[in-house]
Structure 1
Amino acid sequence: MNLDQTTRWRSLSGKVCTVIVALFFVAVMDGLIAILRHPVNLLLLLPGGSEEISGLLREEVKDFSLLQVQGGSDRVRLVFLESRKGFWLGGDMWRGKVSVDVGAEPGDYPLIVREAGGAPGKPLSVHVVRVLPDADALRKQSKSMLLKYGNVSPWFAVMVLLPLILLGFLTNYLLAHRREQLLARTGQGEIYHIVRVDEGQQVIFGMGSKHGLQPGMTVTIVDVAQAPVFTGEVEKVLEKDAMITVPLDCPVRTGYLVRVGGLFLESAGAESVVP
């Protein structure tokens, strides 16, 4: 690819990557908001489905006969699996599995866990199992806009978009590196940083001693229309970068090009400038 083609592809790649990154953050935010909006004690299940849940205990329980489950039905059941310590706070918790028979009628089924034989009072935990008739009804209950209206899980979208973002960043890097090489072959470097100081604006661009540039050489800054903006001498030169100071009122911007006049030679894979 020549310089013009590389520049166009880099611009297109940057725009596509920006759109993909925006979609990625939309999917992440949609998924997180859906989690925060969904009641922690509400289970959405289809007939024949099951899901594990947990709840707090006042103290460690080794015999689950000491716990009583109220509510539910013969088709919506809670079976205790184990008691354990909580991961974050270390309190005692129970873990169980809610199962819904294939013949369960749609509706809400409360599951209330109490201490067997205990005095009436605040239960240990309260969960509501909402049995839905089909997958479409389950999707419409979702708090995720992507899932509810687009039938796409936000976390599936995240898994698809993340590799595309990495691929986009790699493509942009390779195209930018290729463009930098093509610019250097023609004695040009792109301005990528501008610092305002008392003496003016310090313009830093991507061309240095590796490309034959030396302090004191005359360079010209051109805008996107290739019109000259400023002509002056290079003040500081590093291996791949250089700096020139322009007046404060000079309309220079990042993305403009700095050009060196003269004859350009190539040897041993490196470019050099002969003024």
Structure 2
Amino acid sequence: MIAGARFVLWQKRAGIVAMILLAAALLSLADALVGGLKGSQGTIELVPDNHYLVSGPMPPRTEAIKDFVIDGQPADGSVRLVPEAIYSGYWFGGAMWRGAIVIDPWAREGSHVLSVKDAYGEKQNPALVFKVRVWPDLATRNAHSSSFLTRTTGRNPYHFAAILALCGLIAGGINFLLGRLWARHLATHNCGEIYKRRQTALGTEITCEFRCSEAMRPGMAATIYRPSGELLCSARVASCDKGEVVMQVSQPELVRLGDVACVFLATPEISSS
């Protein structure tokens, strides 16, 4: 039996876990993207006692916040757009303003369209129109989300995607590490995985993933195993050149890619663990 078969078992498990986690991350990302496409179409969804930071260009013919005209606020003032400061834009250096949409604790459920403009009737800038939807509480807002994950868990699907992707990458790294340990273990015992199989005039040849050594010669006996250690059949070294070991197998119908071929250089068997 081949020692170290546990590396293969755990490598396969880690690979399956990585595949499942990364697939789940993609599904979470798709849920977030679909939710965004089918979602609020630019509507800012808030709950009472909440606020949302906004910014935009200065309305035409205004130089200060006191020149702003804000429309769409309810009479009780429970939903307000509060400009706070003027600053220079990052890209073109034009004047910009920043502020917040503030929802008071007693605000009632409803939709509002808040707009910022000047006092002279200039054309409304679409970038200064804010659609606001006030929900009575967070649970209600989540229940009306277009994202399946948000509706069922109340969580942001992007958070799921990020966490699942990170865990998937970690599992993939473990899979890679175990694969390296398995390959090193096989090389230590003059064994290697079969990665190529072809039919020739002399029979079925297999190519194994381990380096030639000075002690290895054509005609030497070899044995084929399953990665789990099950004995399959015998083989003989056909050639050993350019870092490849090619063998001819006695029962090719039993051999498949991923099986292990071992050459006996000194001892007739590989010690088992």
TM-score, normalisation: structure 2? 0.75
Q: Confirm whether residue 85 of structure 1 aligns to residue 86 of structure 2.
A: no
Q: What does 1:215-226 correspond to in 2, within 5 Å?
A: 216=218, 218=220, 222=224, 224=226, 226=231
Could you tell me how far apart the structure 2 residues matched to 1:195 and 1:67 are?
A: 77
Structure-1 residue corresponding to 2:246: 244
Cross-structure match for 1:160: 163
What is the CA–CA distance in structure 2 between the aligned matches of 1:181 and 1:155, rounded to whole Å? 39
Instruction: Describe the shift of the 1:216–1:246 C-alpha distance in structure 2 as closer, same or farther (beyond 3 A).
Output: closer
Match of 1:100 among 100, 103, 107: 103
Q: Is the 8 A contact 1:208 1:214 kept in 2?
A: no
- Superposed displacement of residue 264, structure 1: 4.3
Cα deviations across residues 154-211 of structure 1 (Å, max 9, x unaligned)? 222234324422331232123222222332344320134x4989999996532114x6
Give the superposed CA RMSD.
Answer: 3.8
Range with greater deviation from structure 2 (94-103 or 109-118): 109-118
- 1:113 and 1:123 in contact (8 A); partners too: no
CA distance, structure 2, for counterparts of residue 138 and residue 124 of structure 1: 25
Matching of residues 22-171 of structure 1 within 5 Å: 22-39=23-40, 41-57=42-58, 61-73=62-74, 74-81=77-84, 82-85=86-89, 93-119=96-122, 125-171=128-174
Write the deviation string for residues 50-95 of structure 1: whole angstroms up to 9, x where unpaired.
Answer: 00123345669531233311102211000113354265x8776443
TM-score of the superposition, structure 1-length normalised? Answer: 0.75
Q: Distance in 1 between matches of 2:179 and 2:193?
A: 10
In structure 2, the CA distance between the partners of 1:154 and 1:246, relative to structure 1 (3 Å rule), is farther
Structure 2: give runs of 5+ residues left out of the alignment.
none
Between 54-63 and 180-189, the greater mean CA deviation after superposition:
54-63
Residue type of the alignment partner of 1:179? W
Q: Equivalents in 1 of 2:104, 2:42: separation in Å? A: 20
Q: Give the C-alpha shift of residue 40 in structure 1.
A: 5.2
1:32–1:223 Cα change, 3 Å: farther
Query: In structure 1, what residue type is equivalent to 2:143?
Result: K
Identity across aligned pairs (percent)? Answer: 22
Which amino acid counterpart does residue 25 of structure 1 have in structure 2?
L
Query: Given residue 27 of structure 1, which amino acid in structure 2 is its aligned partner?
Result: S
| Whole-Å separation in 1 of the counterparts to 2:28 and 2:150 | 10
Quickly say closer, same or farther: Cα 1:229–1:90, change in 2 above 3 A.
farther
Counterpart of 2:239?
Answer: 234
Secondary structure of the equivalent of 1:53? strand
Cα offsets for 1:78-120 (capped at 9, x unmatched): 0113354265x87764432100000111111110222222246
Instruction: Give distance in 2, aligned partners of 1:201 and 1:91.
Output: 75
How many residue pairs were aligned?
258
Give the 3-state SS of the residue equivalent to 1:255 in structure 2. Answer: coil
Partner of 1:268: none
Shift of 1:12: 1.4
